Amino acid sequence: MNHKNIFIEKTMGKMLWSFIMLLTHIVTYSTGIMFWLIVIFSKKHISKMEMYTSTFFALYFELLANVILDLKYDLYGYFNKGVDWATLPALLVIFPAVNILFLNFYPFTKSISKQILYILICSIIGISFEWIYLQTEFFYHNGWSLWYSFLSYPWIFYILFLNLRIIRKLLKSS
């Protein structure tokens, strides 16, 4: 192979990689914008204070999980191994919106079985988005699998629900 062909292959590889990364950002930010439009235009069932405080808890919880599972054990990650600042804007757009949507539409007054079903449906949606992000290389697995996520998401959503209950008790007592 001559030098011209090697240069073309490297250039095409870089162009393809750049295109994939562009698509990754488009999918990620489009998702975030879509979620925020739903948050903005949907009827609110939780207060602004509940949205605010539960979002900080969700971000802290997500950060704690990522420090342990991503940075310490390298089971998964975003884009590249280690701290990658490119993920920060996406995470700050998506995670707060997901938290607010989940809690805003939570069936608080429905039966336990409907609440469990709601958590399972949200978990399946979360796994679907995780699969999409795996395809776009925004997210990677390194010893982690979608099955672990399937087992984890219901607990994550349940913890977000429990946190909102604590927030409500604290607001009521103050």
Query: For position 88, what pLDDT does the model report?
Result: 81
Residue 117 has pLDDT above 90, yes or no: yes
In the 8-state DSSP scheme, what is residue 82? S
Mean pLDDT across 163-168: 98
- Reported pTM: 0.85
pLDDT bracket for residue 29 (50, 70, 90) = confident
Q: What is the 3-state secondary structure (H, E, C) of 91-152?
A: HHHHHHHHHHHHHHCCCCCCCHHHHHHHHHHHHHHHHHHHHHHHHHCCEEECCCCHHHHHHH
92-102 confidence digits (pLDDT tens)? 889 999 999 99
Query: For position 10, what pLDDT does the model report?
Result: 64
Average pLDDT taken over every residue of the chain: 89
pLDDT bracket for residue 85 (50, 70, 90) = confident
32-78 confidence digits (pLDDT tens)? 999 999 999 999 999 999 999 999 999 999 999 999 999 999 999 98
Q: What is the 3-state secondary structure (H, E, C) of 3-47?
A: HHHHHHHHHHHHHHHHHHHHHHHHHHHHHHHHHHHHHHHCCCCCC
Residue 28 has pLDDT above 90, yes or no: no
CB 20 within 8 A of CB 13: no
